[in-house]
A and B are shown apart, each in its own frame.
Chain A
Amino acid sequence: MTDSVGRLLPGLAVLAVAGVLARAVGGATPVDPLVVAVGCGVVLGTVLSLPDYVEPGVDRYKLLLETGVVLLGASLTVEQLVGAGPAVAGLAVAVIALGVGFGEVAGRLASVGDQTRPLLAAGASVCGVSAVLAVASSIDSDEAAVAYAVGTVLLFDAATLVTFPLVGAVLGLPDRVFGVWVGLSLFSTGPAAAAGFAVSETAGQWATVTKLVRNAFIGVVAVAYALSYADGGRTDATEVWTRFPKFLVGFFVVAVLANAGVLDAAARGAVSTVGDWLFTLAFVGLGVKLNPRGLGVAGARPVAVVLAHFLTVTTLAFLAVRALL
């Protein structure tokens, strides 16, 4: 055991150093730290060609990724679900169901690959990068598909963060209506909250609450994808359980602990911070293992599918919010 830990240390140290660098650059520039982390990994893997003895530690990046998803369970709270009210919770469920369905159908029609399509559908419908990572681990996606999906989500995050406050100002919607619409439409929590608060305090609060309700379904969507991909022609329970991603058990246990009062707000914040760091380190490892040529193969079609997905969902969400709130 001591030997194996010793063998992991050089690689984990490389991930840690590059992770610190990525967070520092991400903190000082508008570039997302996860993008910097992947970039650092690609440079380490292709330009610097790391020595063999760091490989065992770098290979553990998937363990870090899955542990990060386990920790995401702490951000799932029943209070938010109940507090948002039945109309908002119902709209969030409808957006997820519509979004995943649209992403799957449009993705198949556009011949987006089996590895990339679920990641984009989940990322756009539930909670951006976190959903991409949870579903990627559930269906064991390859590195190129994950990097492509994360890049696409972050591209839309940046574009919607800028455009939504402008659209909100033009439409002159009531704060609550605008906030819920933002929470239903945007992919990731950070941009949704920022776009809401850019308009008003009330809009920001509603955008955040609505987005957190959507986020609460990350586990359900990840389990659904895991079960559908576990089939493989056999549907017996043993086969399904064998291929079921066990880290989702951890995700739900952490969610139960967080809701049972074991974790207070400060502890949840700390768990979330550790999770963010694990994702950053994992993304360095993903970058090291990534073949940059693999990204070009995906082409622009998946981005076009996500754009169609976004425009459809945001338009229907707008009409529903206007009619119900």
Chain B
Amino acid sequence: MRLPDRTTDWCRAALNRLAGADRGWRATLLGLAIVLVIALGTV
């Protein structure tokens, strides 16, 4: 399945924004992603 161009553009923009974000925000998002994965994995 191919995602609509607008979706991939949005994802690319979000990832670029994240890559350029303040290190503290990136740590926050990375930490929350880890917590989310663990929370879903232990349900």
Which residues of A approach B to under 8 Å, CB–CB? 1, 4, 62-63, 66-67, 69-71, 73-74, 137, 245-251, 253-254, 257, 262-264, 266-267, 270-271, 274
Contacts and interface: CB of A to CB of B under 8 A. Distances in A.
A92 B26 CA distance: 32
Contact of A263 (B15, B23, B26, B35): B35
Nearest to A66: B27
B17 to A, nearest CB: 11
Given A67-B27, A247-B27, A263-B39, 7 more contacts: A1-B19, A67-B34, A247-B31, A248-B24, A251-B31, A253-B32, A267-B39
A61 B15 CA distance: 20
B22 interface: yes
14 contacts: A62-B23, A66-B24, A70-B32, A71-B31, A245-B24, A246-B25, A247-B27, A251-B31, A253-B32, A254-B31, A262-B39, A263-B38, A271-B38, A274-B34
Interface residues of B, number: 21
Nearest to B26: A63
- 7 nearest A-B residue pairs (beta carbon): A70-B31, A246-B24, A250-B28, A66-B27, A247-B27, A247-B24, A267-B42
B28 A253 contact: yes
A74 B23 CA distance: 20
A274 B12 CA distance: 28
A247 B12 contact: no
B32 to A, nearest CB: 6
A66 B34 CA distance: 13
B2 to A, nearest CB: 18
B19 A249 contact: no
Contact of B35 (A62, A66, A254, A264): A254
Contacts of B32: 70, 250, 253-254
Contacts of A246: 22-25, 27-28
A274 B38 CA distance: 10
